[in-house]
Structure 1
Amino acid sequence: MNPETAAGVFTAARSEFAAWSGRLWRPLGEILTSVARPRPRERVLDACCGTGASAIPAARAVGPDGAVDAIDVAEGLLDEGRREAAALGLGNLRFAAADVLTWPHDGYDVVQSSFGVFFFPDMDAGSRRLAGLLKPGGRFAVSTWRGDGMSRIVPIGRAAALPDRPELEDAPPRPNHSARVDTAGKLADWLSWIGLRDVEVREVAYVQPLHLEDAWTFYLGSSMRGFVGGLSADALDRVRARFFDGLREAGLDTLDAGALIGVGRRP
Structure 2
Amino acid sequence: MQDAVEKTPPTSPLASPEPWDLVADAYAAELVPQFELFATDALRIAALPAGGRVIDVATGPGTLAMLAAKTGATVSAIDFSPTMIANLNRRAVEAGTAIDARLGDGQALPFADDTYDGAFSMFGLMFFPDRAKGLQEMRRVLRPGGRAVVSSWAPFDRPFALVMESVRAMLPNLPFGEGKAPLGDPSAFADEMTAAGFREVRIESVSHSSTASSLSECWSMIQRTTAPIVLLRHKLGEQTWDKVARGVFERLQGALGEGAVTLTFNAYLGRGVK
TM-score by length of 2: 0.80
The question of whether the paired residues in 1 share the 8 Å contact of 2:107 and 2:130 is answered with no
Q: Which residue of 1 aligns with 2:245?
A: 240
Q: Which residue of 2 aligns with 1:49?
A: 59
Aligned counterpart in structure 2 of residue 221 of structure 1, from 206, 222, 225: 225
Taking the TM superposition and a 5 Å limit, the aligned residue runs for 1:1-267 are: 1=11, 6-61=16-71, 63=72, 66-91=73-98, 93-106=99-112, 107-149=115-157, 152=161, 155-156=164-165, 158-159=167-168, 162=171, 168-169=174-175, 176=180, 178=182, 181-210=183-212, 211-224=215-228, 225-251=230-256, 253-266=261-274
Q: Tell me how large the CA RMSD over aligned residues is.
A: 2.8
Distance 1:57 1:196, change over 3 A: same
CA distance in 1, matches of 2:42, 2:179: 25
How many residues end up aligned between the 2 structures? 255
Q: For each residue in 1:206-243, what CA deviation from the matched residue of structure 2 results, as whole angstroms up to 9, or x when unmatched?
A: 12334333333223322212222233322232222122
The 1:40/1:152 distance shift into structure 2, 3 A limit, reads: same
CA contact (8 A) 1:17 1:218 kept: no
SS of alignment partner, residue 107 of structure 2: helix
Structure 2: which 5+ runs fail to align?
A: 1-10
The superposition leaves residues 75-106 of structure 1 with CA deviations (integer Å, 9 ceiling, x where unpaired) of 21222222221122212x11111112122213
Residues of 2 paired with 1:141 and 1:42: CA distance?
15
Contact 1:47 1:113 in 2 (8 A): yes
Shift of 1:3: 9.3
Q: Quick check: 48-57 or 99-108, which moved more?
A: 99-108
Identity %: 25
Distance 2:205 2:92 in 1: 29
* Distance change (3 Å), C-alpha of 1:45 and 1:228: same
Letter in 2 for 1:135: R
Report the secondary structure of 1:182's partner residue: coil
Tell whether the 8 Å contact from 1:71 to 1:99 is kept in structure 2 after alignment: yes
Q: What do residues 95-121 of structure 1 show as CA deviations (whole Å, max 9, x unaligned)? A: 111112122213221110001121101
Cα distance change of structure 1 residues 236 and 128 upon mapping to structure 2, 3 Å threshold: same
The separation in 2 between residues aligned to 1:237 and 1:3, in whole angstroms, is: 22
- In structure 2, the CA distance between the partners of 1:175 and 1:99, relative to structure 1 (3 Å rule), is farther
The structure 1 segments of at least 4 consecutive aligned residues displaced by more than 6 Å after TM superposition are none
Partner Cα separation in structure 1 for residue 75 and residue 44 of structure 2: 15
Query: 24-33 or 113-122: which moved more?
Result: 24-33
Check conservation: 2:167, 2:244, Cα contact below 8 A.
no
Gaps of at least 5 residues in structure 1 are none
